[in-house]
Chains A and B, each alone.
Chain A
């Protein structure tokens, strides 16, 4: 009568393999078509946004036209990002040798703070004139959005291909599937779910740029190059310049509305669909635990008198938090970033691959520098000699340290509040019902879009006050915080929700409660998630740093971010050199911190994972 332990069995649910991928393509293509046609119609109706919206760009009636312009840019950039992701991802996953270089290179690319790339792209693409052609501006803008969007889907494609089970590969091989057929029937469907999840991240990254890159000025007033693209980001930026809190808030609300609408209308249905097409490794149901879960639905609500407060509370509450999270995109984001950001293979890359990838990256930077200098007909020598007079190596280190200390302070604040809130959300039904939707909206706001609000509230009122230095630093830390906190929060909530039932029961049976329960069970259980969240948070923090340190000529704090922004208004040759220098320092700092701190800790985190 001995019943052996149910073994893992692999279940494959690929209804009709190519169908989903083609459906995705159809939806995507028709989305592009709709947006483009819509943009054309609106353009015709409004006379190309000209008369009224050019004279009075803050007219709320111009918002639909702006939104469509912005969306069109993003859709085009996303199309390129998808193409890049599929090509690069398939090349990486299919060729073992190529992956030794392509994977670490991709890792370097995604470590470059996107906002740091903004001046570089504009330097290269825009002419030196005061009014660069609109076409060039648009191209520069789309390239920038592309750099924000490309990396996550690429990791998604790689992860998707790597997740194809060996038996499926062998079966495909045995039945003679090769080349295009293999690609269409096995690879694309396998990639589809990850592509959907990572697209959510990609769009998030794209939105992050919007408030920054549609309205920018380079150089000092006589030779100033102005980027001015109609769009929702420019609307927010202009409202901030005019210190009009009402209009800035209006723009922000519209932006968040669009983000949430896209999420609910496109990503959520696609995501639900994608779930069905996953190769799953499912453990056959265990006699008791899973049996109970079939009746779980009603169980929790009726347990009014608590037998064991911690356990009953926890069981009902966390299932609620789980359900609330289900409808938010945060869970999906958490899922994808956890899987994508650090493919395990990266740590197994041979040295030559890593060195070569660094060499390629440095080569690309040098190439970019040369192109920039040639396109702007400047001499690199004059730039470098000027650099020596403008900033010393010591100065560069000093501002790096200043920026790092802002990041550390913001991180400390973010970690302490999110750890508390994360545990509360996961444990309290009432709180999660109240807070999760708020946090969902909060995290959908690109941190850069909050920048104008901070200017209006924290900088303008203190213009002539001796406290300006303090409020500027405060504003900077707050902005960095907005770029950091959500990653931590939702990783922690997910981890607390993920503590298995048997562990909860054991701790209850052995009467471990209250503070000890939090300290000995919940915090260690969240440790791997805190690390993943921290890596993402620092990525977001670096991006926010660049906008947070420089608000205006009379309102800035010393740091890498403001150095980068100020560089663009200096002598052209010097500007070029300084922009590249600060970008390199930033990327190097990010890479060093990732390698020295997070990955090292991540390797230790294995112990804190529950066994499947």
Chain B
């Protein structure tokens, strides 16, 4: 995928320090990279601060130093042009599938009837047609995450952030959902250009991403930035993927 010269997101010198009693903990140590129209994965060992970084990018958390720039504007609070998908789904238990998806766009200036149409469209797109009035408790894990995806897509975001979106799912469900997310992202009908996915599953990262940013253990620094130019759709059993995964794993450990 060709990269236009103008980056969509610029992560500029992000540092995150948690001050503690006596000693403070540095979680993110001067992280900088640009995000273009691409599928970007951030991998790193457990607890290295990947998720904190993702939260800082969305404006959910505040960096101790540095800034995130989105189309030339520093991010200070969650933007309606950025959608988020959570590891634990984060669905409101007392809202129906439709209600949970509507929630994402309810703060926008879109007309109510239009909101409803958009929500219904994305519920269909993720394959949940007929489940609009179900409650999250009645759904399987995979279906819950589909709601999470529909909710993020309903914003029609330019950037989609995913925090370990498949790690709460069983292997088979995760595999299917990965493929569907890639299909949606590659479909020109969707406005989402950039995806940033945080994961500790290296295999998953090399299978899905155009580019993988590898973080070290805490305090996290960028130890590698790997371009993956393999044809899509990719086969999970492609030996080239294993080579890449090995390279990344050797950097982490």
Give the interface size bracket for B toward A.
35 or more
Q: Are B25 and A295 in contact, with the CB atoms below 8 A? A: yes
| A591-612 Cβ-contact flags toward B at 8 Å (1 or 0) | 0000000000000000111110
A5 within 8 A of B: yes
Shortest CB distance B181–A (Å) = 16
Q: Are A524 and B107 in contact, with the CB atoms below 8 A? A: no
Q: Are A506 and B86 in contact, with the CB atoms below 8 A? A: yes
A291 within 8 A of B: yes
A32 within 8 A of B: no
Given contacts A2-B174, A502-B88, A506-B84, A611 and B164 within 8 Å (CB-CB): no
Distance A12 CA – B18 CA, assembled complex (angstroms): 33
> In the complex, which of the residues B19, B20, B80, B135 contacts A607, with contact meaning CB atoms closer than 8 Å?
B135
Distance A362 CA – B84 CA, assembled complex (angstroms): 60
B78 within 8 A of A: yes
Contacts of B170 in A (CB 8 A): 4-5
Q: Are B137 and A502 in contact, with the CB atoms below 8 A? A: no
A355 within 8 A of B: no
| A296-310 Cβ-contact flags toward B at 8 Å (1 or 0) | 011101110111100
| A498-517 Cβ-contact flags toward B at 8 Å (1 or 0) | 00101101111111100010
Q: Are B86 and A502 in contact, with the CB atoms below 8 A? A: yes
Q: Are A295 and B18 in contact, with the CB atoms below 8 A? A: yes
> In the complex, which of the residues A287, A508, A509 contacts B200, with contact meaning CB atoms closer than 8 Å?
A287
Q: Are A288 and B60 in contact, with the CB atoms below 8 A? A: no
Shortest CB distance B160–A (Å) = 12
| B90-109 Cβ-contact flags toward A at 8 Å (1 or 0) | 11111100000001101100
Contacts of A288 in B (CB 8 A): 47, 50-52, 87, 163-164
> In the complex, which of the residues B20, B46, B86 contacts A297, with contact meaning CB atoms closer than 8 Å?
B20
Q: Are A308 and B171 in contact, with the CB atoms below 8 A? A: no
Given contacts A1-B245, A298-B24, A512-B107, A287 and B164 within 8 Å (CB-CB): yes
A171 within 8 A of B: no
B201 within 8 A of A: yes
Distance A299 CA – B49 CA, assembled complex (angstroms): 14
Q: Are A508 and B19 in contact, with the CB atoms below 8 A? A: no
A388 within 8 A of B: no
Instruction: With CB as the reference atom, state the residue of chain A lying closest to B18.
Output: A295
B169 within 8 A of A: yes
Q: Are A297 and B21 in contact, with the CB atoms below 8 A? A: yes
Contacts of A502 in B (CB 8 A): 86-90
A286 within 8 A of B: yes
Given contacts A5-B168, A307-B59, A291 and B201 within 8 Å (CB-CB): no
> In the complex, which of the residues B90, B155, B201 contacts A506, with contact meaning CB atoms closer than 8 Å?
B90
Contacting A at CB under 8 A, from B70-86, are 76-78, 80, 82, 84, 86
Contacting A at CB under 8 A, from B202-246, are 202-204, 245
Given contacts A4-B171, A295-B18, A511 and B55 within 8 Å (CB-CB): no
Contacts of B95 in A (CB 8 A): 520
A521 within 8 A of B: yes
Q: Are A610 and B93 in contact, with the CB atoms below 8 A? A: yes
Contacts of B52 in A (CB 8 A): 288, 292
Q: Are B60 and A509 in contact, with the CB atoms below 8 A? A: yes
Distance A287 CA – B87 CA, assembled complex (angstroms): 10
A311 within 8 A of B: yes
Contacts of A378 in B (CB 8 A): none
Q: Are B62 and A291 in contact, with the CB atoms below 8 A? A: no
Q: Are B167 and A5 in contact, with the CB atoms below 8 A? A: yes
A312 within 8 A of B: yes
B61 within 8 A of A: yes
Distance A511 CA – B25 CA, assembled complex (angstroms): 30
> In the complex, which of the residues B46, B51, B60 contacts A508, with contact meaning CB atoms closer than 8 Å?
B60
Distance A609 CA – B103 CA, assembled complex (angstroms): 19
Most buried by B among A295, A301, A521: A295
Contacts of B50 in A (CB 8 A): 288
Contacts of A45 in B (CB 8 A): none
Given contacts A286-B87, A503-B92, A2 and B137 within 8 Å (CB-CB): no
A351 within 8 A of B: no
Contacts of B55 in A (CB 8 A): 505
Contacts of A524 in B (CB 8 A): 92, 94
Contacts of A520 in B (CB 8 A): 92, 95, 103
Distance A5 CA – B58 CA, assembled complex (angstroms): 25
Q: Are B92 and A311 in contact, with the CB atoms below 8 A? A: no
9 tightest Cβ-Cβ pairs between the two chains A and B: A506-B90, A307-B62, A288-B51, A502-B90, A291-B47, A298-B20, A295-B18, A511-B107, A1-B203
Q: List 27 A-B contacts (CB under 8 A).
A: A1-B203, A1-B249, A2-B174, A2-B201, A2-B203, A2-B204, A288-B50, A288-B87, A295-B20, A295-B25, A298-B20, A306-B62, A307-B61, A308-B78, A311-B60, A312-B62, A503-B92, A505-B90, A509-B58, A509-B78, A510-B107, A510-B151, A512-B103, A607-B93, A609-B93, A610-B93, A611-B137
* B residues adjacent to A (C-beta < 8 A): 18-21, 24-25, 27, 46-47, 50-52, 55, 58-62, 76-78, 80, 82, 84, 86-95, 103-104, 106-107, 135-137, 151, 155, 163-164, 167-171, 174, 200-204, 245, 249
